A and B are shown apart, each in its own frame.
Chain A
Amino acid sequence: MKRKEYWNQKEMSYWEKLYYLEIARGLWVTFSVFIKNLYKWCTGKKGALTVYYPEERRSDYASNFRGKHKLTILENGRPKCIACKMCENICPSKSIKIVAGKSPDEKDSYSLKIPLSFDLDYASCIFCGHCVEICPKDAIIMTNDVSELPTYAREKLLYSLSDLLESKKDA
């Protein structure tokens, strides 16, 4: 296979010592990029890759991006979680705390256990996705949403069951 050769010499030759020629070359590069971007701007295409956060939000996070968690719900609106504590045990940073309780319906066909509380501490969560991978009921998922995570107080990073539960509208 043919390889590109790049300059790498012990001493500078006359060309490199001249200096201005290389500066002209550099200016040519930046100027042509400027013209290209200007053309984009004139034709209504966006040249810049940045967004004005937080007024403008990125919408192109990958669909499988590991962002905020969601607890999914069944059709009747109850959480799919059966409080088996698999995620609590596998979590590498021990960020999940579940308190399990008995289902109010003694002959519950879905599960006899329900989560009374489900706390997820984003202050220590490392977003590895192990909880999602291990969940036997697909009760916890990760969305590609990362908005509203930064806050001024650590306590606000502790998400409870109601914060995590997806609303009926989402489902």
Chain B
Amino acid sequence: MFSESQAVADGHRVLEVAVASDLRSVVRKLKEEFSCDLLLDITALDLLATETKMVMVYHLCSTKHGQRVRVKVPLSSTNNMFMLPSLREEYAAANFLEREVHEMYGVNFENNPDQRNILLYKGFVGYPLRKDFDIAKECPLDLQASPIESSVTLADDEQKMVLNFGPSHPATHGTIHLVLKLEGERIERADVHCGYLHRGFEKECERHNWQNIIPFTDRLNYCSPLINNFAYAEAVEALAGITINERCRYARTLLSECARLCDHLTCIAASLMELGAMTPFLYLMTIRDYFYEHLASLTGARLTHSFVRFGGLKSELSNEWLAKLQEWLCFYEEYIKRVHALVDRNRIFIDRMRNTGVISTADALSLGFTGPLLRSTGFAYDLRKAAPYLAYGELDFEIPVGISGDNYDRYYVRMREMDESVSMIRQCMKKMQAMAVQGLNSVNSDKTYFLPKIPVVSAGEIYKAHEGANGELGFYIVSVGGKIPYKLHVRAPSFVHMGGFHKMIEGDQLADIIATFGTINMIGGECDR
């Protein structure tokens, strides 16, 4: 399928599909012959000012070969309406992603009957991510009407119940709206609506310079903002040809793992609390708070760190800071032992978690799941091992996997991953302290971009992904040169996971939603952008 001379850009094989109607056969061939089992992302690129009016961009990944493919389809239009075949039969993940492209760019998908709005509300006029969209124009929400269009309906003679769960339900720590069809206590159908936290992140980025976007990325996954910072910075650095030094690579790895630790702590604490276990919640929150305070003493904020600068970091990690971090890691070990003793083998906990929210490996792959969700099904795919970035190639760590893809496995995978994170932080720390002895004391070089320096990024496109705490967090950036991105798209793991949430709860009891939603760890800021 690919010739030797095939262009390889930013680690992706780029495939152009000239005729839109060929898309399905090409993708099917990719799936079968090239074992591209993950459809990571779908987005469009508005080139309305040029000859090719719109380009669809698909990112696929083969977990077997570690290969990444970018499929691009130029679209021809009839009166600015675009049409192309849907991929929902090939990949279940396509459903949510296509709905987003449909509402944002006005691209229509054949054989996809489900083209309801997902991030925007019902009745929104216009396609906001198109370049000709007038951002000054307001489109007020009709307060009398429902902002969503539910696909769950009852026939007249059906003795069942439709239940609205959310959007601000106390047990879902995130604004999400589920419309459920219940047969007694059992969930027969679920319809997931997100978008209540949509802030127009991608549109906003098109009006801000590269430096100004850094604080915005903090607010994506606000449980682990440092990972967002670094993933975004790496994408821009790769486009602009900025390099970081050895110490900075280790410092970023260390901080990424701290962020992952905090994220997992939050996730487990919250899901345990929702099941009624208040004590482990308080233990875990205590550790998390010490980590947040410690990060605040370095970055200046507990959550919104904005700590990255292109080519380096905002400030130095001092030896005292690292020594203090070591203390908190020991503290973590003491506290986490208690949580293991309290819940690990407790029958109440096991009964609630085991065999609820089950997802098989095949389903998880088809739905585009990554991160702890995919690993809990027993499939050891981790970007840190599959395509090592930063300093992960030089660290010794394992990928913990579950056995059956249920809630208990997700809890187990996260608990194990935290231990791995702590071990990685220690390895990075050792390395950094050794570097300090050698006189390598600065994470920044002369070329680090501090304000008022704003990098001028050459024209090009890039997709860079980091292993976020919840899954693959990818930044797809298109630049036409200059200080402002032409397009910035985030492949948010939570959004993709929400696309498969219904699959995990259908057939379960109503009360299982709480446990399942907790262990998925959907983060509104990232899901709704």
Contacts and interface: CB of A to CB of B under 8 A. Distances in A.
B451 A66 contact: no
B399 to A, nearest CB: 12
Interface in A16-30: 16-17, 19, 22-23, 25-26, 28-30
Contact of A90 (B404, B423, B451): B451
Interface stretch (B35-43, B167-175, B182-190, B293-301): B293-301
B279 interface: yes
B376 to A, nearest CB: 10
Q: Which of A8, A30, A129 has the most CB of B within 10 A?
A: A8
A33 interface: yes
A40 interface: no
Interface string A107-151: 000000000000000000011111001100000001000000000
B208 interface: yes
Q: Is the interface of B mostly helix, strand, loop or mixed?
A: helix
Contact of A86 (B398, B409, B452): B452
- Max chain B C-beta neighbours (<10 A), residue from A26, A30, A61: A26
A44 B321 CA distance: 29
Interface in B412-461: 412, 415-416, 419, 423, 450-452
B86 interface: no
Contact of A92 (B216, B279, B450): B216
Q: Bin chain A's interface residue count.
A: 35 or more
A66 B347 contact: no
B289 A22 contact: no
Interface stretch (B46-54, B130-138, B336-344): B336-344
A146 to B, nearest CB: 11
A163 B415 CA distance: 48
Contacts of A29: 338, 341-342
Interface string A1-36: 101101111101001110100110110111001000
Contact of B412 (A6, A15, A49): A6
A64 interface: yes
A134 B452 contact: yes
Contacts of A129: 300, 306
Given A33-B338, A133-B450, A22 B306 contact: no
B141 interface: no
Contact of B345 (A7, A49, A128, A130): A7
A19 B348 CA distance: 8
Contacts of B215: 92, 126, 128, 130
B5 interface: no
Given A7-B345, A15-B345, A49-B289, A65 B301 contact: yes
Contacts of A62: 293, 296-297, 300
Interface string B299-331: 011001010000000010000000000000000
Contacts of B450: 133
B304 A130 contact: no
Interface string A46-74: 00010000000000111111100000000
Nearest to B337: A29
Given A26-B341, A62-B300, A86-B452, A12 B350 contact: yes
Contacts of B214: 128
Q: Which of B211, B293, B345 is packed against the most chain A CB atoms within 10 Å? A: B345
8 contacts: A6-B344, A8-B403, A12-B347, A16-B350, A28-B341, A92-B212, A133-B450, A134-B452
Interface of A: 1, 3-4, 6-10, 12, 15-17, 19, 22-23, 25-26, 28-30, 33, 49, 60-66, 86, 90, 92, 126-130, 133-134, 142
